[in-house]
């Protein structure tokens, strides 16, 4: 019976999502169609091409974010080194962070433990969160990433930015599909994060202060132990033993 319930819940969610996607994709398609019609009548202004391109990017963005959710049965959960995953994602984000004058600092004073996870999904979560943090700091700033032991079997990964922040009344809307405050946002990033973290039996917690910054915390269960327990070895940012 529990399974059936889950299934009908899933179907309801699927219906909601399908309606949302259809709506979100139809808007840019309508706009593209209009401009192509203009082109046909020979009014091919440079800016029209730019609009068409950005509308196409928008559709591509929406479809791209959904691809992550499209293959839930192909999940491969394996033990992964969290420190390596985080470093890989920072590297992937580096062009965006450098272009936006955002410095990403990792507190490596503890070496993170092994995490049982779907590597690509977890990387997607980190990527989405880092992307949001960079976008929240249009004038640049610092993004601090901290990994700490929360309880004996829970790890906490924190992303702390100095961005625009989120007002209290908007925090509850985070993770709703298509909820965005950005002109070019999809409003899918956090929804995907919540979904993936839930799949990993973890929690995603948002704390924020307008004009001060935002802390996105991910709690995940971990097995084994921290490789370098408190103050045993400390690492500076270059990974060198201090």
For Mg ion, the binding residues (CB under 5 A) are: 132, 189
∠ Cα 114 116 121 (to 5°) = 110
Burial label, 85 (beta-carbon count in 10 A; 0-12, 13-18, 19+): buried
Local structure of residue 113 (DSSP, 8 states)? -
Q: Which one of residues 31, 180, 199, 228 is an interface residue with ligand ADP (CB under 6 A)?
A: 180
Q: Which one of residues 82, 130, 133, 196 is an interface residue with ligand ADP (CB under 6 A)?
A: 133
Minimum CB separation of residue 126 from ligand ADP in Å reads: 13
Number of residues counted as binding ligand ADP (CB under 6 A): 22
∠ Cα 145 147 152 (to 5°) = 160
- Could you tell me how many residues make up the chain? 242
Q: Which is nearer to Mg ion, 132 or 158 (CB)?
A: 132
Q: Which is nearer to ligand ADP, 215 or 233 (CB)?
A: 215
Alpha-carbon distances of 74 from 9, 142, 190, rounded to whole Å: 21, 36, 21
How many Å apart are CA 111 and CA 88, to the nearest integer? 15
Site stretch for ligand ADP (CB under 6 A), options 50-58, 77-85, 88-96, 160-168: 160-168
Q: Considering CB distances under 5 to 8 angstroms, the limit depending on partner class, which of Mg ion, ligand ADP, none binds residue 179? A: ligand ADP
Alpha-carbon distances of 91 from 23, 48, 53, 135, 235, rounded to whole Å: 34, 35, 27, 17, 19
Q: Considering CB distances under 5 to 8 angstroms, the limit depending on partner class, which of Mg ion, ligand ADP, none binds residue 124? A: none
Q: Considering CB distances under 5 to 8 angstroms, the limit depending on partner class, which of Mg ion, ligand ADP, none binds residue 161? A: ligand ADP
Q: Which is nearer to ligand ADP, 97 or 132 (CB)?
A: 132
The binding site for ligand ADP (CB under 6 A) comprises: 128, 132-133, 136, 161, 163-166, 174, 179-182, 185-191, 214
């Amino acid at each position: 019976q529990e399974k059936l319930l889950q299934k009908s819940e899933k179907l309801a969610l699927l219906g909601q999502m399908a309606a949302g996607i259809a709506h979100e994709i139809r808007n840019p398609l309508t706009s593209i169609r209009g401009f192509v019609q203009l082109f046909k009548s020979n009014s091919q202004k440079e800016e029209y091409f730019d609009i068409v391109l950005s509308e196409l990017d928008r559709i591509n963005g929406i479809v791209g974010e959904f691809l992550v959710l499209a293959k839930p049965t192909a999940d491969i959960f394996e033990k992964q080194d969290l420190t390596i995953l985080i470093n890989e994602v920072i590297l992937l984000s580096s062009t965006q962070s450098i272009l936006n004058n955002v410095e990403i600092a990792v507190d490596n004073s503890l070496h993170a433990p092994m995490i049982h996870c779907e590597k690509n999904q977890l990387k997607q979560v980190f990527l989405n969160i880092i992307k949001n943090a960079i976008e929240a700091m249009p004038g640049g700033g610092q993004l601090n990433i901290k990994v700490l032991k929360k309880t004996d079997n829970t790890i906490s990964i924190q992303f702390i930015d100095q961005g625009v922040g989120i007002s209290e009344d908007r925090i509850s809307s985070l993770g709703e599909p298509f909820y965005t405050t950005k002109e070019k946002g999809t409003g899918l990033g956090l929804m995907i994060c919540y979904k993936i973290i839930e799949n990993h039996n973890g929690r995603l917690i948002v704390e924020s202060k307008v004009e001060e910054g935002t802390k996105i915390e991910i709690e995940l269960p971990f097995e084994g132990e921290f490789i370098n327990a408190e103050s045993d070895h400390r690492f500076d940012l270059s990974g060198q033993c201090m």
